[in-house]
Amino acid sequence: MEWAGSGPELLFTIDRESGAGLRAQLEEQLRDAICGGRLAGGERLPSSRELARALGLSRGLVQDCYAQLQAEGYLTSRPGSATRVAPVARRAAPPRAGTPAPPRPAIADFRHGVPDLRLAPREDWAWAVREVCRTAPNTAFDYGDPAGDRQLREVLAAYLRRVRAVAATAEQVVVCTGMAQALGLVLRALAAGGIGTLAFEDPGAFRSTAEQANAAGLTAVPVPVDEDGLDIAALDDSGARAVLVTPAHQWPTGVVLAGHRRQELIEWARRRDGVVIEDDYDAEFRYDRDPVGSLQGLDPDHVVSLGTVSKSLAPALRLGWLVAPEWLLPALVRDKRVSDRGSPGIDQLALALLIESGRYDRHLRRARAEYAFRRRTLVDALAAHAPGLRVTGLAAGFHAILHLPPGTDEARVIEQARQRGVGLYGLAPLHHAPGPRPPRLVLGFGDTSQHAIEPAVAAIADLLRG
C-alpha cells in the first residue's frame, strides 16, 4: 500500500488548565485509546512532527511519549516505518454471546442464491470506474436524480427492451440499491394506494417477502405453485390485489410460468385492477430452452418488473432497478428521494458504460458458459453416483432440484452430509403451508467449484440413494 505523506488524524485534547503534565495527558489518552479499542493493533500513528503540530506541543515531547509507550509494549516502531499500535496491545474483549456460524463444508457447499464471486469482472469494473472518474463532468459528483442517472436509465431501458422484451422508456426506470430496496419501494407505494394484501409463491422466499410486506403495512398470503407455475385460480381465491412472482425461473422449483398461465395472470390483474410484481432475478442465465420474455411486455400498466446485477455481476455492487407503470412512478420516486436521495452516482455511470461498451454482455457469455459446464458436471455426477433420481429446474439459473426417494428423511440427509464435509439444503423450509412434502434438495452450483462437484456427490451417494 502507498501511504500519503501526511499521517492519519487522531482525536486527542490537551487541557493546559488542568494542572496535569502535557506528556502525561498524551500518554494516558493514547493508552486508553489502545486498550479501549479505538486504535486497533497494527494501526498507523501520525508522525511525531505531525501530532506535535496538531496538538500544539513540542516534537520532543511527542517523541518521548512514543518512546515510553513503545517501552511499555503499546507501540512498535522500526527505522523507515511509521509508528504503529502493537498487535497485542488491546485488552482482551469479553466473548460475544450467541452461537458462532458453522464452518464452511470441507468438500463442497451447494448453497443457493449466490453467484460465483470469483467470476466478478473486477478488471472491467475498475476500468469503467476509472473512465467515469476521468471523463465525467463535475456535475456527476453532485446529488443526482433520485430516480437514477438519466444515462443509466436510458441504457437500461434499451438493454431490457433488447434482451427481455420489456416495454419501457427511461422515464419508467427507477434505479435502486438492489432488489430488496426495489421491492420495498413498490410495496409501500401499493399500500399507500389502497392495496392491502400481497400474494406470494409457495414454495418461495416467504420469510423475506412477509417481512417486507408487513413492514409496508400489507398482509402476505401464500399461493401454491405446481408444474406450470403459479396457480391462478388459487390466486383469485386469495383476495389479493398484488402478487410477487418469479415467472422466468420460479424460485426455488425452477419451473417456468406456462404460456396459458401468463395470459391468465395478466387477465387476473386487469379484472382485479391489480399489480403483478415480476422478480426477474436470474433471467440472464438460461441454457437449453428458448428465451422467455418479461411479463411486463404483455401489460406495462399492470406489471412492475424488478431487476438487479447481484447475480450477473456481484451482490456487493448493490445496484438494481424497477420498471413501473407511469401511474405508480410519482410515489416510487418520492419514496426513493426520502429514503436515500438516490443510489451512488459514479457506480451508476460505471454500469452504464459497462453495458454500452459490450463488456457486460461479454461477461454474461463467459459466466453462462461456466455455469453451463458446472450444470453438466452436476448432472453427470448424479447420474453416475445416484442413478434414477430425478433432477429438475435446470433450464436456467444456477441451482437444481434433486428429488430424493420417497420416505427419505430430508433433514437427516442434510445433517449426515455436513458431517462428511458436504453442505446440502432442503426444499422443506421454503414451503409456507404446513403438511407433508416429498423430500427434495436445492443444489446450488453458482458458488460451488466445478472441481468439487463430483467428489462431493460421490461422498454422499449412499445418502442420496436412501
pLDDT digits (tens, 9 = 90+) for 300-347: 999 999 999 999 999 999 999 999 999 999 999 999 999 999 999 999
DSSP state of 406: T
Band the pLDDT of 2: cuts 50, 70, 90. very low
What is the Rg, in whole angstroms, of the alpha carbon atoms belonging to the chain? 28
Band the pLDDT of 43: cuts 50, 70, 90. confident
Region 362-385: what's the mean pLDDT? Answer: 94
Residue 107: HSE in the Cβ half-sphere, 13 Å Cα cutoff: 16
Q: Where are the alpha helices (DSSP H) in 345-449?
A: 345-356, 359-385, 410-419
Out of 6-20, 44-58, 416-430, the most confident range is 416-430
Q: Give dist(CA 185, CA 335) in Å, integer.
A: 7
Q: Give dist(CA 42, CA 74) in Å, integer.
A: 10
Residue 6 has pLDDT above 60, yes or no: no
DSSP state of 405: P
Region 136-157: what's the mean pLDDT? Answer: 96
Band the pLDDT of 4: cuts 50, 70, 90. very low
pLDDT of residue 3: 47
Which residue in the block uniquely carries the three cell numbers 444456477? 398
φ, ψ at 75 (rounded to 5°): -125, 160
Residue 112 has pLDDT above 60, yes or no: yes
Closest by CA position to 314, among listed 64, 66, 138, 115:
115
Angle at 172 between CA 168 and CA 175, to 5 degrees: 110
Region 34-55: what's the mean pLDDT? Answer: 87
Q: Look over the chain and give the mean of its residue pLDDT values, rounded to a whole number.
A: 90
Sorted by where each starts, the structural domains of the chain and their CATH numbers stand as 1-100 (1.10.10.10), 108-116+363-465 (3.90.1150.10), 120-357 (3.40.640.10)
Q: With contact defined as beta carbons under 8 Å apart, do 227 and 393 qualify?
A: no
Q: Is the dihedral of CA 71, 77, 82, 85 positive or negative?
A: negative
